[in-house]
């Protein structure tokens, strides 16, 4: 029997703190007018000191699992698309796996810049369609505020923090992720990069002094690249899915710049009501922007069962990707009974206790081994 990868759960998390264009105008030589007219951004969210990519990813994931009424212990795989992981390793996906108590799940991070979530959706859905897995949690999460140079007006006005999660589930109902197109052109890698902190330029006093741990971007070239690939990738994914442009209910692009989205919509001849834009509230949240946009589109009643959606990402790498989805879940989803919510919270508490006990176990084990080695050494 044919298998399909349906999106059955969704959730988002953004920090409470809002940074407006006017706030930025007090920090660098810019203005609300310049930012609005050149990008469409009005405000963005900034993580509190204790918030990280993992904490936002966990909250978005918990909402997605609640919407789907799914048990984290039954997840097969967790993919976190991010350019701002909590650590270079372990993977942020493993921090999410631990916090959710997803004891059966594999977990890895995926690095494809702002395209990461769309790449991850393609990977996760293929894992399901191939028959390898039944439930895959796909997350896009970023804390870009930690790698922004707050004195560089070329970049600091553009980005924001947040996370979005989608739960993919195997189904025999036709639909879900119908096609995916992935692209890359590494020759443009230095147009958008974080130069230091990797094996080429490990962190040092010099790299910090030279500001190499901040986002470096050639905005104009990225703009040109994005306007070139967005509509093209959407067309390719539609052709692969055998879906006509006229049958698209909603176009959800990476939310980097309103002018890029407008150019793509114009090229695809899509009317404004078929184009989703929310970047005025969040700025560019990189790999989190597409899942956050999808969550808000659902919330606003702009997605219905059997609708065809196109989602497109583009960004560092250079990378780009598009997926076509036929929505398979009736909306709105009924609220779960209170006891289920309480049961779920209890499970997360238990996951935290379990994690603590296991950490303690590792510590005791290594202390015992140290004692053993010392005693044997003194013989």
Give the max Cα distance, the chain: 82
Active site residue 284: yes
Map residues 87-106 to x or -, x wherever contact with ligand UT7 holds by CB under 6 A: --------------------
Instruction: Decide if 146 contacts 82 (C-beta within 8 A).
Output: no
- The correct pick among 75, 222, 265, 298 for binding ligand UT7 (CB under 6 A) is 222
Rounded to a whole number of angstroms, the minimum distance from the CB of residue 157 to ligand UT7 is: 4
234: how many CB neighbours lie within 10 A of its CB? Answer: 26
Does position 216 bind ligand UT7 by CB under 6 A?
no
Does position 144 bind ligand UT7 by CB under 6 A?
no
- The correct pick among 90, 106, 197, 219 for binding ligand UT7 (CB under 6 A) is 219
Map residues 173-212 to x or -, x wherever contact with ligand UT7 holds by CB under 6 A: -------------------x--------------------
Catalytic residue selected from 21, 281, 284, 295: 284
Cα separation of 67 and 172, whole Å? 20
Rounded to a whole number of angstroms, the minimum distance from the CB of residue 156 to ligand UT7 is: 7
Cα separation of 160 and 174, whole Å? 36
Active site residue 156: no
- The correct pick among 17, 150, 220, 340 for binding ligand UT7 (CB under 6 A) is 220
Residue spans of alpha helices (H) in the chain = 21-25, 32-39, 53-68, 92-100, 116-129, 153-156, 205-209, 219-241, 258-267, 279-282, 289-299, 338-377
Rounded to a whole number of angstroms, the minimum distance from the CB of residue 41 to ligand UT7 is: 9
Task: Tell me which stretch binds ligand UT7 (CB under 6 A): 49-57, 120-128, 151-159, 265-273.
Answer: 151-159
Catalytic residue selected from 13, 94, 114, 295: 114
Pairing of strands 216-217, 275-276: unpaired
Nearest to 9 by CA among 68, 79, 52: 68
- The correct pick among 127, 157, 241, 298 for binding ligand UT7 (CB under 6 A) is 157
Cα separation of 347 and 218, whole Å? 46
Does position 223 bind ligand UT7 by CB under 6 A?
yes
73: how many CB neighbours lie within 10 A of its CB? Answer: 13
- The correct pick among 8, 10, 19, 30 for binding ligand UT7 (CB under 6 A) is 30
Active site residue 94: no
Both tokens of 157, joined, read 């006005």
Q: Which residue is nearest to ligand UT7 (CB)?
A: 219
Task: Pick the closer one to ligand UT7 by CB: 68 or 233.
Answer: 233
Q: How many CA atoms lie within 13 A of 33 on its CB side?
A: 0
**Block residue for tokens 């990868």:** 5
Q: Name the β-bridge partners of 77.
A: 106, 136
34: how many CB neighbours lie within 10 A of its CB? Answer: 15
66: how many CB neighbours lie within 10 A of its CB? Answer: 19
Does position 34 bind ligand UT7 by CB under 6 A?
yes
Site size for ligand UT7, by CB under 6 A? 18
Exposure letters 141-180 (e unless 16+ CB within 10 A, then b): bbbbbebbeeeebebbbbbbbbbbbbbbbbbeeebbbbbb
Catalytic residue selected from 21, 254, 257, 308: 254
Does position 84 bind ligand UT7 by CB under 6 A?
no
- The correct pick among 38, 74, 213, 235 for binding ligand UT7 (CB under 6 A) is 38
Task: Tell me which stretch binds ligand UT7 (CB under 6 A): 77-85, 221-229, 232-240, 364-372.
Answer: 221-229
Does position 292 bind ligand UT7 by CB under 6 A?
no
Does position 154 bind ligand UT7 by CB under 6 A?
yes
Residues marked as catalytic: 114, 254, 284
Binding stretches for ligand UT7 (CB under 6 A): 30, 34, 38-39, 114, 153-154, 157, 192, 219-220, 222-223, 226, 256-257, 284, 315
């Amino acid at each position: 029997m044919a298998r399909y990868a349906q999106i059955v759960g969704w959730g988002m998390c953004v920090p409470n703190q809002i940074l407006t264009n006017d706030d930025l105008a007090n920090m660098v030589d810019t203005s609300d007018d310049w930012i609005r007219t050149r990008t469409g951004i009005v405000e963005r969210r900034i993580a509190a000191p204790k918030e990280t990519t993992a904490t936002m990813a966990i909250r978005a994931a918990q909402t997605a699992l609640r919407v789907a009424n799914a048990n984290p212990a039954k997840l097969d795989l967790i993919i976190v698309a991010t350019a701002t992981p909590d650590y270079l390793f372990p993977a942020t996906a493993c921090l999410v796996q631990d916090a959710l108590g997803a004891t059966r799940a594999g977990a890895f991070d995926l690095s494809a810049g702002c395209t990461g979530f769309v790449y991850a959706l393609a990977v996760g859905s293929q894992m399901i369609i191939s028959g390898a897995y039944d439930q895959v949690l796909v997350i896009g999460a970023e804390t870009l505020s930690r790698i922004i140079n707050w004195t560089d007006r070329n970049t600091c006005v553009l980005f924001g923090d947040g996370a979005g999660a989608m739960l993919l589930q195997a189904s025999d109902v036709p639909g879900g992720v119908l096609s995916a197109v992935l692209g890359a052109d590494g020759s443009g890698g230095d147009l958008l990069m974080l130069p230091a902190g990797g094996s080429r330029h490990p962190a040092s006093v010099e790299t910090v002094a030279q500001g190499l741990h901040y986002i470096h971007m050639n905005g104009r070239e990225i703009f040109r690249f994005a306007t070139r690939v967005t509509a093209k990738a959407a067309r390719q994914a539609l052709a692969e899915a055998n879906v006509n442009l006229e049958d698209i209910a909603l176009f959800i692009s990476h939310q980097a710049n309103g002018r890029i989205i407008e150019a793509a919509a114009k090229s695809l001849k899509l009317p404004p009501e078929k184009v989703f834009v929310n970047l005025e509230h969040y700025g560019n949240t990189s790999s989190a922007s597409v899942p956050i946009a999808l969550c808000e589109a659902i919330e606003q009643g702009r997605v219905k069962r059997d609708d065809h959606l196109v989602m497109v990402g583009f960004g560092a790498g250079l990378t780009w990707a598009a997926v076509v989805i036929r929505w398979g879940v009736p909306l709105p989803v009924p609220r779960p009974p209170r006891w289920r919510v309480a049961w779920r919270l209890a499970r997360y508490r238990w996951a935290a206790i379990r994690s603590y006990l296991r950490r303690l176990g590792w510590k005791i084990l290594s202390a015992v081994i140290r004692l053993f080695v010392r005693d044997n050494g003194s013989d």
